[in-house]
Amino acid sequence: MPVSTLLVDPAWLNSRLDDPRIRIIDVTTFLYIDPNGTNHRLSSGRDAYEKEHIPGAVFGDLLADFSDPAAPLPFTVLDSDAFAERIGALGVGEGTHVVVYDQGGPNMWATRLWWNLRLEGFDDVSVLDGGLAAWKEAGFATASGTERKEPATFVARRRPELLADRDAVAAAIEDDKVVLVNSLDPATFRGETQSYPRPGHIPSSVNIPFEELIAEGGRFRDAGEVRDLFSEAGTLDEGKRVVTYCGGGIAATRVAFDLARLGRSDIAVYDGSLNEWTSDPSLPLETGPGAE
């Protein structure tokens, strides 16, 4: 996928609504984090989708359909066969082009499915800048109810290099050829607030808060505007592997997406992120400003 079509605007999509190759997927999900503790509440955006969505869009339920129900953590990636079956049921297969969006503001749910598709070897996927809010702001019509597409055959070809596990992250702490990127807000990174079982960040991490990548209206900042932020963190050094993480592997994909816009399509995401890491007292954490 050319960098120029990773991120598309409402006008681009509106001009292609009748293109039989286009598959629009609404992946709206809602997350509430209690600011005084670790009470995270997740809910599907299916009702919001049924109330209002982009014409032709189907709903991709990240919680119910694109997470492993047997895993101890939410949003754990499916195995390749299960993912292929479920994304194929939404009409995604060879010769299609996916446009994914959400209704939640920073587009991080959309980038989660973007990353999952790329993990399974599918590159013909774009994210709609600004999601449904930008679509409506542009004056385009919406639809209600539930829509479906003819099922397609999706062939998964997993790229294991785009998925990092706990052992890989533990090894990366002492490896100067790997850059660990914490995608959360600075206060959580420094351990000043505790949204997870233990406060702090994985040792050797740098902090690139995903909020700093967001422009007005939940849109993406121009890639040139954020280049220095990524460069200073060492993430544009092609001689180094980059692994992003957050709380549950969602905001980390938002940072990975912006790195893809800057030419780094090889970014790995630590799927378990701090939900997994902080639950194991044997794994190290640091508080304070982190790596220089």
d(CA 14, CA 184) in angstroms, rounded, equals 33
Q: What is the pLDDT of residue 291?
A: 65
Query: What integer pLDDT is reported at residue 4 of this predicted model?
Result: 66
What are phi and psi for residue 207, nearest 5 degrees? Answer: -110, 120
Question: What is the reported pLDDT for 41?
Answer: 79
How far apart, in whole angstroms, are the C-alpha atoms of residue 77 and residue 86?
12
Q: Which tokens go with 208? A: 């690139």
What radius of gyration do the chain's Cα atoms show? 18
* β pairing state of 40-44 and 29-33: antiparallel
Options 246, 251, 268, 269, the catalytic residue: 246
Tell me the C-alpha distance between 80 and 116, whole Å.
10
**Exposed, middle or buried, 35 (CB in 10 Å: 0-12/13-18/19+)?**
exposed
Q: Which residues of the chain fall short of a pLDDT of 50? A: none
Give the per-residue pLDDT at 74: 87
Task: Say what the pLDDT of residue 162 is.
Answer: 98
Look at residue 2 in the predicted model and tell me its pLDDT: 59
CA 265 to chain centre: 14
Can you give the pLDDT at residue 38?
Answer: 57
Q: Residue 35: what pLDDT?
A: 60
Residue 102 backbone class (left: φ over 0; alpha: ψ -120 to 50; beta: rest): beta
Residue whose entry in the numeric block shows the structure tokens 């587009």: 107
What pLDDT, on the 0 to 100 scale, is given for residue 150?
Answer: 97
The Cα–Cα gap between 46 and 32 comes to 16
246 is annotated as an active-site residue: yes
Handedness of CA 101, 65, 31, 124 (dihedral sign): negative
DSSP code string of 24-80 = EEE--EEEEE-TTSS-EEEEE-HHHHHHSB-TTPEE--TTTTSS-TTSSSTTPPPPH
Q: And the tokens for 236?
A: 């544009």
Q: What is the set of domains in the chain, with CATH numbers?
A: 3-158 (3.40.250.10), 161-277 (3.40.250.10)
